């Protein structure tokens, strides 16, 4: 009898270990196939289950240049996954009595001003971090994006008043980074520390995120850090790291899967560190994960969700009949990341990549999540792989059509003459853009954002295309001119030529007026 029980115990233990090994091998295979399917140079993945890091691995290479392997310690810019840290920091200030979520922003930043005076007076700290300002998606992101501009946090605070709302205040969700930049300034003014100092000293160090930094420029040891990559004109290429220090409160943190799992473990332990220190009251921690701005759930939602929305620095939903999911994604030029927690299952999933294709992290996260939720294999690799192929083909076809018309326009004898469109155009929040003509070629460039420079090529009598010199942007735009009765341009507006353009290339909200 004793032998039988011992045999049964050993058999079950072996079976469980063997099953786990098979599961790990299957996941390894999936990630390797994901690399190939979405042309991603490197991916690192971490899983936290029941307080233990059960999976931490890197795949592929951290850089197409040095070919060094990606591993669980490879540093990656986690981008907008930084927003949860910003809100956690603000909640700490609420605990200390230095701040209230419903404080008017002007209590802490008197010079804060939005387009509408009434909205300015009513705008709260809570409004800063819940994407319900009324401004359009990505409005004003050119104030920090791409890197190489000279805009400061002060410029952001001073210039948001020129951004016209697209919807009424608090009526709709529209993702906005600039409000988080201003939230970082609130933190600085009430705490006496810079956002970067606060995040590292008050959160990362106590939590045990030993390899993480609050910004790229604070990383001193870069022996194991990714290079960024993106698909440029049909081929994935390495590009320089791109993130403005101005926007750290919106997306500046650099970390790895081990540290991000440590962050997940801390959060799912009710904001108590491994040493037993509570960093946030239960009331304030509870507040972070409460729905603030609702979002619609799709009719055919994959996870039978009943609700979806944004809390304080986090997206929130339920999956498979009521498990609460707390999650966020992040994207920089050349990098996308995903952070997912299902606290009821004590499950955390981290996916960090060095290529800007979100289909890759969705494939991996959903497959892992499904295995714990009890879904049968739904072949996310095929679903997202097919979607990715069609999307790239669609965007490529749009761009090809535009540039075919650009070629035809070369023979158009009714195009404006250089004197009709060259000169300086200005936008209230972005500043000056100069259009010049030299050696039979137009150039368009921003005075304050050095990398916004390219060739302006004719499309038809009233429209040109801005073809940016940095082809990794994938953000070419139509430039639609308005003319006076003499045929001279008086202004211009811009519009993306393809939807693949990152919304942070916020050219669509420029209202350019010709000043000379």
Measured distance CA(74)–CA(55) in Å, rounded: 15
DSSP state for residue 148 in the 8-state scheme: T
Three-state SS across 99-151? Answer: CCCCCEHHHHCCCCCCCCHHHHHHCEHHHHCCCCCCCCCCCCHHHCCCCCECC
Q: Mark whether 350 and 422 lie in a shared domain.
A: no
Q: CATH code at 499? A: 2.40.128.50
**Do 336 and 442 belong to one domain?**
no
Give the three-class secondary structure for 44: strand
- DSSP summary character for residue 109: -
Same-domain status, 356 and 499: no
Q: What is the pLDDT of residue 72?
A: 97
For residue 365, what are its two tokens? Answer: 């996260």
Residues 368 and 411 in one domain: no
Can you tell me which residue has the tokens 């029941």? 50
Q: In whole angstroms, what is the distance from residue 187 CA to residue 101 CA?
A: 12
The reply to whether 24 falls in a domain is no
- CATH classification at residue 86: 3.40.710.10
Structure tokens at 458: 């004719």
> Is 488 domain-assigned?
yes
Residue 393: per-residue pLDDT: 97
Residues 447, 354: one domain?
no
Kindly state the tokens that stand for 443.
């150039």
- CA 252, 258, 259, 262 dihedral sign is positive
Closest by CA to 308, choosing from 300, 318, 299, is: 318
* Residue 481 parent element (H or E): strand 477-483
pTM of the model: 0.94
Residues 433 and 344 grouped into a single domain:
no
- Pairing type for strands 512-514 and 463-468 reads unpaired
Provide CB contacts within 8 A for 400, sequence distance 6+. Answer: none
Residue 6's pLDDT is 37
Provide the b/e sequence for 371-397 (b: ≥16 CB within 10 Å).
Answer: ebbeeeeeebbeebbeebeeebeebee
In-domain check, residue 15: no
371 and 401 in a single domain? The answer is no
Residue 32 forms part of a structural domain: no
Q: Considering its fold, how many domains does the chain have in total?
A: 2
Give a three-class secondary structure readout of 65-86: CCCCECCCCCEEECHHHHHHHH
pLDDT of residue 39: 97
Domain end, chosen from 318, 350, 378, is at 378
Q: Please give the average pLDDT of every successive group of 10 residues along the chain, which has 516 residues.
A: 37 36 83 98 97 97 97 98 98 98 98 98 98 97 95 98 97 98 98 98 98 97 96 92 93 98 98 97 98 94 96 97 95 96 97 97 97 94 98 97 97 96 98 96 97 98 97 97 97 97 96 97
- Domain span including residue 411: 395-514
Strand ranges in 196-281 using DSSP code E only, listed in sequence order: 228-232, 235-239, 254-255
Residues 6+ apart with CB under 8 A from 415: 409, 458, 461
- 386 in a domain, yes or no? no
Three-state DSSP at 46 gives strand
* Tokens matching residue 12: 């079950």
Q: Is residue 442 part of a domain?
A: yes
CB 31 within 8 A of CB 371: no
Report whether 95 contacts 284 (CB < 8 A): yes
Residues 364 and 401 in one domain: no
Q: What is the DSSP letter of 297?
A: P
Structural domain contains residue 390: no
Tell me how far apart the alpha carbons of residues 252 and 254 are, in angstroms, rounded to a whole number.
Answer: 7
Domain shared by 290 and 406, yes or no: no
Distance (Å, rounded) from C-alpha 409 to C-alpha 459?
Answer: 6
Residue finishing a domain among 336, 352, 378: 378
Residues 324 and 445 in one domain: no
Assigned domain for 13 exists: no
Q: Closest Cα to residue 78, out of 266, 250, 273?
A: 250
Helix (H) or strand (E) holding 191: helix 178-191
Domain stop point among 378, 408, 423: 378
Asked if 224 and 367 sit in the same domain, the reply is yes
User: Quick one: 354 and 442 in the same domain?
Assistant: no
């Amino acid at each position: 009898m004793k032998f039988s029980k011992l045999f049964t115990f050993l058999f079950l233990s072996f079976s469980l270990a063997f099953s786990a090994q098979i599961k790990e091998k299957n996941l390894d295979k999936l990630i390797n196939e994901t690399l190939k399917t979405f042309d991603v140079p490197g991916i690192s993945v971490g899983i936290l289950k029941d307080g233990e890091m059960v999976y931490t691995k890197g795949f592929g290479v951290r850089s197409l240049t040095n070919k060094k392997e990606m591993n669980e310690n490879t540093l990656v810019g986690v981008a907008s996954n930084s927003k949860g840290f910003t809100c956690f920091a603000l909640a700490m200030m609420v605990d200390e009595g230095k701040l209230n979520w419903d404080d008017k922003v002007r209590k802490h930043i008197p010079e804060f001003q939005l387009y509408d005076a009434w909205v300015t007076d009513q705008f709260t700290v809570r409004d800063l971090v819940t994407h319900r300002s009324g401004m359009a998606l990505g409005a004003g992101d050119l104030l920090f994006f791409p890197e190489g501009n000279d805009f400061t946090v002060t410029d952001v605070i001073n210039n948001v008043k020129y951004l016209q709302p697209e919807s009424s205040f608090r009526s709709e969700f529209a993702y906005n980074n600039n409000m988080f930049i201003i939230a970082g300034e609130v933190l600085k003014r009430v705490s006496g520390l810079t956002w970067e100092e606060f995040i590292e000293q008050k959160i990362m160090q106590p939590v045990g995120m030993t390899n993480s930094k609050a910004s790229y420029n604070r990383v001193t040891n870069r022996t194991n850090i990714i290079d960024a990559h993106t698909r440029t004109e049909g081929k994935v290429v390495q590009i320089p790291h791109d993130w403005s220090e101005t926007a750290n409160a919106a997306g500046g943190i650099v970390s790895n899967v081990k540290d991000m799992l440590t962050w997940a473990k801390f959060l799912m332990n009710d904001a108590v560190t491994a040493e037993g220190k509570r960093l946030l009251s239960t009331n304030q921690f509870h507040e972070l994960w409460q729905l603030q701005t609702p979002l619609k759930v799709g009719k055919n939602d994959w996870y039978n969700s009943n609700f979806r929305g944004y809390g304080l620095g986090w997206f929130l939903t339920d999956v498979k009949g009521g498990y609460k999911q707390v999650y966020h994604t992040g994207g920089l030029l050349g990098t996308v990341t995903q952070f997912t927690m299902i606290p009821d299952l004590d499950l955390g999933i981290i996916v960090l990549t060095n290529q800007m294709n979100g289909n890759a992290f969705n494939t991996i996260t959903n497959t892992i999540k499904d295995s714990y939720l009890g879904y049968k294999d739904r072949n996310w690799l095929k679903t997202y792989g097919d979607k990715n192929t069609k999307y790239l083909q669609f965007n490529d076809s749009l761009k090809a059509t535009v540039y075919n018309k650009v070629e035809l326009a070369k023979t158009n004898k009714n195009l404006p003459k250089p004197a009709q469109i060259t000169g300086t155009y200005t936008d209230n929040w972005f500043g000056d853009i100069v259009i010049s003509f030299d050696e039979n070629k137009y150039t368009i460039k921003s005075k304050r954002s050095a990398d916004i420079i390219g060739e302006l090529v004719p499309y038809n009598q009233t429209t040109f295309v801005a073809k940016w010199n940095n082809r990794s942007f994938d953000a070419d735009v139509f430039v639609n001119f308005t003319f006076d009765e003499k045929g001279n341009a008086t202004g211009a507006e811009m519009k993306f030529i393809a939807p693949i353009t990152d919304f942070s290339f916020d050219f669509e909200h420029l209202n350019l007026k010709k000043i000379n």
